[in-house]
Amino acid sequence: MSDSPIPYARQSLDGADTDAVLGVLRGEWLTQGPAVPAFERAMAGRCRAAHAVAVNSATSALHIACLALDVGPGDQVWTSANTFVASANCAALCGAAVDFVDIDPDTWNLSVAGLAEKLAAARRRRDLTPRVVIPVHFGGQSCDMEGIAELGRDYGFRVLEDASHAVGGRYRDLPIGCCRFSDITVFSFHAVKIITTGEGGMALTNDDELGERLRQLRSHGIVQDPMGGPLRRGDPWAYEQVELGFNYRMTDIQAALGSSQVRRLDAVISRRNALADRYGAAFAHLTARSQHVPDEALSARHLYPLRVAPTERRRVFDGLSARGIKANVHYQPVYLQPYYRQFGFRPGHCPEAEAYYAGALSLPMYAGLTDEEQSRVIAAVRDLLAP
């Protein structure tokens, strides 16, 4: 089957995963049963965070995280230009103004130097500085969180980590999700991500109040968490809606899959890193560049982005496609989307992110990619980029 198409990402499921899902389907609870709190405990324990709140997507997690951090009209929220639109939309959904920070030319993550400059310029002009900054761990590699947290203390902003790519990754020997340098961290369990619940997401925090807000906003703004939180009034049937919330709950079906998947997370991360190391070695002699991973980080390797000459990108993309290799491109700078252009953003706002995007190409990267399939990808890339 050496000619079957190779996607850029794919879920990896095994018999234990299907058994876990079937167990829920044959049991008492499809939703609001014990599987969601069990998944939350597993993730909180792994990440060494006090609270883990499972929701139906990372997009929902980002939205309620912004609300929990009191983002609203009149506020600024800044994020990386090189990300998926959801990292910015969460703030726009709260009525805040979004702005974008340029990326580091080597890690392709939000540039801390760029953030520092932008903050200083805003302060000089007496402009509003952000209420929240949302660093994105691009491709699974942590941003320089200590640098961002330091700026947060200087300028009084909160930090929301979009770790949609980074579950299972580490930063300075700390698990991503521990929130040592942030207020809240968000994971995605979409099918293309590191581990999956089909659709799904999670918000983690060490702050008890934020944890309670997140739980409340997930479920209509009701304080008696239907997942078994304490009643505030005497009547056993009573519940109180104290703010405007959503139904962003994860089902037990999804959570059972998540708990089963997370048991293999370490193996998944090492397989992804082995694949990344092999790509890196195979392309070392080419002019194409791979993402720089500083020693202090263990990337979760959600993506394997390769940066080729902008004039070559389309030819390489099409050439791979003709060979049955379905590459992808991550990301068009978010502010160039028509929705964001209406706020006045124009090409040139984040030159590094635009230059990176012009040559970006994400190669197949997932735990189930076989050595033989990877050899096909490597041979195709070398062939297409041969001098």
Task: Rule CB under 6 A: say whether 136 interacts with ligand PLP.
Answer: yes
Which residues, in sequence order, are CB contacts of 117 under 8 Å at separation 6+?
none
Our CB check for ligand PLP shows the closer of 135 and 245 to be: 135
Report the nearest approach of ligand PLP to the CB of residue 107 (Å): 15
Task: Rule CB under 6 A: say whether 249 interacts with ligand PLP.
Answer: no
Residue 142 identity (one-letter amino acid): S
Our CB check for ligand PLP shows the closer of 89 and 205 to be: 89
Report the nearest approach of ligand PLP to the CB of residue 187 (Å): 8
SS (H, E, C) 321-343: HHCCECCECCCCCHHHCHHHHCC
Cβ atoms of 164 and 136 within 8 Å: the answer is: yes
Task: Rule CB under 6 A: say whether 190 interacts with ligand PLP.
Answer: yes
Task: Rule CB under 6 A: say whether 258 interacts with ligand PLP.
Answer: no
> What does the block give as tokens for 386?
């041969």
Interface stretch with ligand PLP, choices 55-63, 151-159, 259-267, 333-341 (CB under 6 A)? 55-63
Between residue 70 and residue 99, which ones bind ligand PLP under the rule CB under 6 A? 83-84, 86-87
Compute the distance between CA of residue 113 and CA of residue 189 in angstroms, rounded to an integer.
31
Neighbouring-strand partners of residue 204: 52, 185
Residues in the chain: 387
Task: Rule CB under 6 A: say whether 59 interacts with ligand PLP.
Answer: yes
Q: Is 305 helix (H, G, I), strand (E, B) or coil?
A: strand
Report the nearest approach of ligand PLP to the CB of residue 160 (Å): 11
Q: Which of 77, 88, 74, 70 is nearest to 210 (CA)?
A: 70
Task: Rule CB under 6 A: say whether 316 interacts with ligand PLP.
Answer: no
Q: Is 289 helix (H, G, I), strand (E, B) or coil?
A: strand
Task: Rule CB under 6 A: say whether 188 interacts with ligand PLP.
Answer: yes
Task: Rule CB under 6 A: say whether 161 interacts with ligand PLP.
Answer: no
Report the nearest approach of ligand PLP to the CB of residue 223 (Å): 26
Q: Determine the size of the site formed for ligand PLP (CB under 6 A).
A: 14
Q: Which of 289, 306, 291, 310 is nearest to 364 (CA)?
A: 306
Chain residues that interact with ligand PLP, rule: CB under 6 A: 57-59, 83-84, 86-87, 136, 162, 164-165, 188, 190, 201
